[in-house]
Amino acid sequence: MTLKESVDPRTSLAADRTSLAKYRTQLALDRTLLAWIRTALTFATFGFGLVGFFRAVAQTYKTPEAVQLHQAAIHMGVALVLIGITALLLSVISHGVALRKLRRGEDVRLSTWPLSITVAALGSILGLYGLWSLFYR
């Protein structure tokens, strides 16, 4: 029996599958980054839309209440834009770290504090602040 005959054919199949698994993982990481880009753009767009809507209300009605709503909308809008920028920056960093590990052959592990929880917490805090300022200002 020669050395060539003693090599298990499953070894080459496993190497091919590993290569394909890395490729599929990279594609999944890219899709995740694209989803975060959409999420960040949604936050920012909603922030700008909120400010624009209440600016139009303040210009139309010119009452102290409308001006106060416009000022509050500016604060909420800026906060939404900042949450969007933060989510985008953190997702790009996370994507880069995961790709670097994947290319080095290291294990890509789940993070202990996912970005989604961070963004959800920031959105919740912003929503609670908005409710508080609506009723207690």
Map out the domains of the chain as residue ranges.
41-136
Q: Which residues contact 39 (CB under 8 A, 6 or more apart)?
A: 84, 87, 119
The reported pTM is: 0.82
| Span 83-109, pLDDT tens digits | 999 999 999 999 999 999 999 999 888
Neighbours of 83 (CB within 10 A): 22
Highest averaged pLDDT of the listed ranges 38-42, 108-112, 132-136: 38-42
| Residue 102 burial by Cβ neighbours in a 10 Å radius (0-12, 13-18, 19+) | middle
| Span 48-94, pLDDT tens digits | 999 999 999 999 999 999 999 999 999 999 999 999 999 999 999 99
Residues of the chain with pLDDT > 70, as a percent, come to: 93
